[in-house]
Amino acid sequence: MNIKDVTLGRMAVAVLLFDSLTPYNASLAIFRSATSDSLDLAIQEHRRVLLKWLNDWGCRHLSVDQHDIASNSILKWYQADGASLFTNEKPLWDVDDGELEIAAHAYGSLKDETGARRVRGGSKRKVHIGPTAASKVLFAIRPKALMPWDEAMRISFDCDGSPKSYFKYLITIRNLTLHIGNLCRNKGFQIDDLPHKLGRLNSTVLALVNEYIWVTETRKVELPSSETLTQWASLG
């Protein structure tokens, strides 16, 4: 993905498509409401709601009958690594490299935790939480700064799912948010106001960025150019 191809108009189209054609924002809203928009992984009920949301967002390897295993692993991880993360209020464009390295290390620890156990060939095998679910947990606890990703995104951004590649991805997305911030300032407003401008008051900027990448990279939708959007607008 070429960062320079990202425009505010294209973002507007992408987030409209995402919000209109998928159930993901509805399930995210239910999750946020159930945790009073203040997720605490030390609370068992919050972990239960988190796992339900992960299932809704495609992480079905963490099956309902195995949620106790995944919940215990997430708690163990949170007690070991949760305190190392930067404050929840920091947006990605204000997070420095050192803080992102710590987050990438925490991601690596979480993805290797046990999310389930399956019987295959007569023996029990561990199923790891994995890179996709781990990134979504980080997005859940740091929704302004830590990006979720899926396999299609990893392929598109030449990432192998390792902590090093997640760090690389966060740097790339940070650069993208800085570009978007410049676009916003050129239009006379700050990036913090972008959700309002796009009619998404309850979303973080990072959520909108993720939706853009999901539409363009995961679903491979070719968004219209600025010229095409202008032509369409002239039709009234």
- 27 within 8 A of 56, measured Cβ to Cβ: yes
d(CA 26, CA 112): 29
Q: Is residue 228 part of a domain?
A: no
- pLDDT tens, residue by residue, 64-109: 999 999 999 999 999 999 889 999 999 999 999 999 999 999 999 9
User: What whole-number distance in Å separates Cα of residue 15 and Cα of residue 224?
Assistant: 13
7 inside domain: yes
Evaluate whether residue 166 is within a structural domain. yes
Which structural domain, as residue segments, surrounds residue 173? 3-222
Give the model confidence (pLDDT) of 23-80 as tens digits: 999 999 999 999 999 999 999 999 999 999 999 999 999 999 999 999 999 999 999 9
Into how many domains does the chain fold?
Answer: 1
Asked, for residue 94, whether it belongs to a domain, the answer is yes
Query: Considering the entire predicted model, what is its pTM?
Result: 0.95
Segment 113-131 shows an average pLDDT of 89
Would residue 181 count as lying in a domain? yes
Asked if the model's pLDDT at residue 199 lies above 80, the reply is yes
Could you tell me if residue 234 is inside a domain?
Answer: no
